Chain A
Amino acid sequence: MINELKKLMKIQGVSSREDKVAAYIEEAVKPYVDEIKRDPLGNLICLKKGTSKKAKKIMLCAHMDEIGFMVNCIQDNGIVRVSRVGGINYIAYSNSRVVFENGAVGVLVPEGKTELKDYNGDKFYVDLGVKTKAEAERRVKLGEMCSVESGIVKLYGTKYAGRPFDDRIGCYVMIEIAKKLGKCKNDVYFVFSVQEEVGCRGSHAASYNVLPDIGIAFDVTPSGDVVNPSTNFSVKLGDGAAIKIKDSSVMCDRALVAAMFEAAKANNIKHQTEVLTYGGTDTSSMQTVAGGSRAGCISIPTRFCHTQNEIVDMKDVEACIDLGVLCCSFDL
């Protein structure tokens, strides 16, 4: 099981370049769903038809993309300038190895003399180890994307560190739900969305294409059990699936939230409450696109989001999978 996750984590998919991730996921869920399509933005939409004639449309959504950078200028001395794609913490990513779509590797570094407070995209460049523009252009092209080296390592017990858990872990949860689901009365749409990190753009189109009755996102949420957290979170690693009440982009549907709590309690699934003071997920698109839906989110507690070493506990992941399966038969 962990091997499958490792594979999924290793495939690169910066926002808008999710094709390889989609191809992997498509193979993984194919045996368990009835229809598969990609929409014009590249969202992977997989339908498992329900058994009931009055089936509700349940949309499960996790995003395939990860944060990264795009080459926007190759300078005469072979210096490669990159723009951020999604919310980049330059301090966390400073002096990291970055891998390009074609496999080329470079190092992301700040210009010398740059003070910590001035860390921003214009001050950073990628060193490919080349001397000239021509050499650089043989390695990378304008518009090509890269991301910080991916992969995971095992920490103590069931905890793993690496990237990009945001949001391959959500994709993983959904793949496992597809495997476990079996017969279900509702039409379940497994939507693996694109371009979440640049503003939930993929799920905006996908929600329009699915028009769900109930929408549930699977995404990471910051964990509060770190030393001196920047703000107070009650979410803790190992305390189970985090049922989202709010973040700064959405107030989740109360009936759906109540149903999630009830299902978790009745089935002894470890769970906790998430009240996030910032951030946003695909949940908001599902709630507000077209006629809207009842929307909610099951979050996977994650320490140090958007760094090279995001940490998750596989026990929480299991809980999210179990709870997700139950949500598929909701009738609200």
Chain B
Amino acid sequence: MKGTALLEKLCTAFGPTSCEYEVAKIIAEELEGKYDEEYTDFIGDRIFRIKGKTDKKMMLSAHMDEVGLMISDIDDNGYLYFQPVGGFDVKVLCGRKLFIGDFGKEKISGLIASKAIHQQSYEERKKATPIDKMFIDIGAKDKADAEASVQIGDYAVFDSDFIRFGDGYIKSKAIDDRLGCSVLCDIVNYIYENKITPEYDLYFCFTVREEVGRTGALITANRIKPDLALVLESTAIADIAGTPEHKRAAKTGDGPCVSLMDLGTVYESALVNFALGLGKKHGIKCQPKKYVAGGTDAGKIHKAAGGVRTINMACPTRYIHSASCVIKESDYYEMFKLALQIALTSPDDVPER
């Protein structure tokens, strides 16, 4: 499987932070036999190495986890209470359908409920319902009934279909960062099918726990000690009507964003120009991201093990961290092409700092 078909499979998998097994399994099956070495660490980071012509190491990384909820309490009526795992806009939660489960457990359906609108006071109606006033309804009769299928510590993720719509757009949950995972798989496939020996020693890293703590990327970078890192992400943009130009950040359909700066990293300008230059040279659409916000695994990677030169490439994504992230399909393929060019580049062509 490849391209957005693989993306669909990955996006619909269940994989909140610290529970990325299902995603890891799909990736491992997809890449079976296409790499030289594989390593899984104790928290579940998966590293696939394709040996290169030189001993210079490139870490290509994407995170497998998605934002989710953790069940923190079950009340006598069988309602579940939860804490967010990752950053949510509280306004995207109420009323959503969910899958609830854990590793190796059957998923059950539920939905986020709160007091009905006609029971809310005038003041309450004007504001988003706060998280502690929301609960999950799984249709249980009482506490014992709920506990038969859900335990405290179980996770919930959005139940949201992968839909193609409009003029080449895709809507799904978990685009952040299954998209990066999917692009990495496509690169491995491409290298395998075309029997290429890359210049760099390539480490394809599918990391865990980005949405909380960024542990996976940090300890993976400490393990590999790469000479260059390419982080593939999806990034929040606002190319929507009514947003002033300087807050839009980027535009769907203009290709992947190369980050100049976010709250965790100031990217080396030589590398930013290198990436954008490669795009220009090969006729691949790409754009600098024009707003500074958020952070990625790069924030941990670039400070790791005495410093790692890092490039961050991200697919422009509307409504990130919601059940309905929206991307343009063409951006996916442009991102694949540009990431592939970087993966196959020679250490000699990368500008020195």
Contacts and interface: CB of A to CB of B under 8 A. Distances in A.
A40 B260 contact: no
Contacts of A198: 266
Contacts, number: 72
Contacts of A85: 261, 266
A81 B246 contact: yes
Interface of A: 15-17, 38-43, 70, 72-73, 75-76, 79, 81, 83, 85, 122, 125, 142-143, 195, 198, 201, 204-206, 208-209
Interface stretch (B62-70, B91-99, B138-146, B304-312): B304-312
Interface in B211-269: 227, 245-247, 260-261, 265-269
B302 A142 contact: no
Contacts of A75: 245-246
Contact of A205 (B245, B269, B307): B307
Interface of B: 227, 245-247, 260-261, 265-269, 272, 288, 290-292, 302-303, 305-309, 353
Given A15-B266, A70-B292, A195-B266, A39 B307 contact: yes
B333 to A, nearest CB: 24
B307 A209 contact: yes
Contacts of A83: 261, 291-292
Contacts of B266: 15-16, 70, 85, 195, 198
A293 to B, nearest CB: 15
A208 B305 contact: yes
B130 to A, nearest CB: 25
Pick from B227, B246, B261, B305 the residue with the most CB of A within 10 Å: B246
Nearest to B305: A208
B353 A17 contact: no
B290 A72 contact: yes
A76 B309 CA distance: 33
Nearest to A101: B269
A61 to B, nearest CB: 15
- Chain B interface secondary structure, helix, strand, loop or mixed? loop
Contact of A209 (B261, B290, B306): B306
Given A72-B290, A83-B292, A40 B306 contact: yes
A40 B307 CA distance: 5
A223 B266 CA distance: 30
Contacts of A195: 266
A201 B306 contact: no
A143 B353 contact: no
Given A72-B260, A83-B261, A83-B292, A205 B353 contact: no
Nearest to A38: B353
A39 B306 CA distance: 8
B276 to A, nearest CB: 9
Contact of B290 (A40, A73, A125, A201): A73
A43 B290 contact: no
A206 B305 CA distance: 9
Given A38-B353, A73-B245, 14 more contacts: A40-B308, A40-B353, A70-B260, A72-B246, A72-B261, A72-B290, A73-B246, A76-B245, A79-B246, A83-B261, A142-B290, A208-B305, A208-B307, A209-B307
Contacts of B290: 72-73, 142
Nearest to A122: B247
Nearest to A19: B353
Contacts of A125: 246
B262 to A, nearest CB: 10
Contacts of B305: 208
Contacts of A73: 245-246, 290-291
A310 to B, nearest CB: 23
Nearest to A143: B260
Contacts of B265: 201
Nearest to A200: B303
